[in-house]
Structures are given as C-alpha cells and as structure tokens.
Structure 1
C-alpha cells in the first residue's frame, strides 16, 4: 500500500455507484474523453450506470455487451486536502484507495502525492 496525502480535495459526483461482480454482463457505452480507458457501462441486471475500466471488460459483442472480468465498484471517495489515504491500485489516472476509517473508493491520481 502506498501511503499518500490529498493535495487537492475531491467530491464524489456519483452517490449511487455501479457495482459489478465478475462474470456480470454490461452494455458497453462511450469512452471518457477526459480519462481514456474508462467506459460508461450499464449493468444488464441492475440497470445502474457508471464508469468501468476498459481493462476489466471483455471486447463487446455485436450487441455492445461486454463481460466484467473481476469484481468492481465505481465508488468514489470524497476527500479533503491533507487527508491521508492508502493507495491500493492505480488505473487510468485514478487511484483506488482506503481511508484511515476503512472506506474504499476511487480518487483522481492528480489529487494525491506519495508520503
């Protein structure tokens, strides 16, 4: 785990994130232009929508259906400057972190610096 400090606060814009299990089918949508390799998907089971990393999706079929290759949550953390986080995974300019209160979620990597 990489211990980091928040150098720029971030507010989550998705209060009801998409949560997917390995093997779940999604409707494969558009790619984010600000953060490449994030695909806007819709769960076939729950109809929830959200950003999913392209790296955990199979190539979409002729009907734009892809399959998730590992469990995933799009939960974003709301963080303030000087918060301490533990980075668990970096992907496509975002970092999946754990807070000191054991909350897990994504934060844009530019908001963090290593301690």
Structure 2
C-alpha cells in the first residue's frame, strides 16, 4: 500500500455509482478514449451506469452482455489538494484509495503524488 498526497483537486462525476457483485451481468458499452481499458457499462440488475475496468469483465456475448469477475464499486472520491490518501489498487491510470475518514473510492492517478 502506498501513501499519497492529493496534488490536484478532483470532484466526483458520478454521485450514484455502478456497484457490481461477482458474476453480475452488465451491458458492455463503449471504451473510454481518455482512459483506455475503462468500459461504460449498465448493470442488468439495477440499470445503474458507470465505468468498469475491462480487466474485471468477461468478453461480451453476441447480445453485448458481459459478467463481472469480481466485486466492484465505481465510487469516485472528491478530494482536495493536500488531502492524504492510502492507495490500495492502481488500474488504468486510476488509483483506488482510502481516505482518512475511511471512505473508499477511485481518483485519477495524475491527481496524486507518492508521499512517505
């Protein structure tokens, strides 16, 4: 685990994120052009939409349905410059972090600087 200092403010774009359980089906959508390997998906169970890492999705079938290979939350952190975060996972230029208030979520890696 890596400690980070936020060097650029980030505001969450998705206040109601897609949350998936392992083996939950999604409609596999378009790939992000700014952050490759993020796929815009719609949960078949909840109809919530959001970005899901390609690495945790099965290959979509002929109907465009894929399955999550593990539990996942697309929750984004809103963070301000100077905030301290604990990085738990890095994937496709985003880092999944824990805040000092025990909130978990994703933040673009370019908003972070490794700290001691």
Please confirm whether the aligned pair reaches a TM-score higher than 0.5, indicating the same fold: yes
TM range (shorter): over 0.9
Paired positions, count: 115
- Give structure 2 stretches of 5+ with no counterpart: none
Aligned twin of 2:15:
15
Deviation (angstroms), 1:19: 0.2
Q: What's the TM-score once normalised by structure 1's chain length?
A: 0.99
Matched, 1:35 2:28: no
Deviation (angstroms), 1:112: 0.2
Deviation string, structure 1 residues 26-53 (Cα, Å, up to 9, x no partner): 0000000000000000000000000000
Aligned twin of 1:5:
5
Q: What's the TM-score once normalised by structure 2's chain length?
A: 0.99
Name the Cα RMSD after superposition: 0.3
Question: SS of 1:66's equivalent?
Answer: strand
Question: SS of 2:45's equivalent?
Answer: coil
Deviation (angstroms), 1:74: 0.2
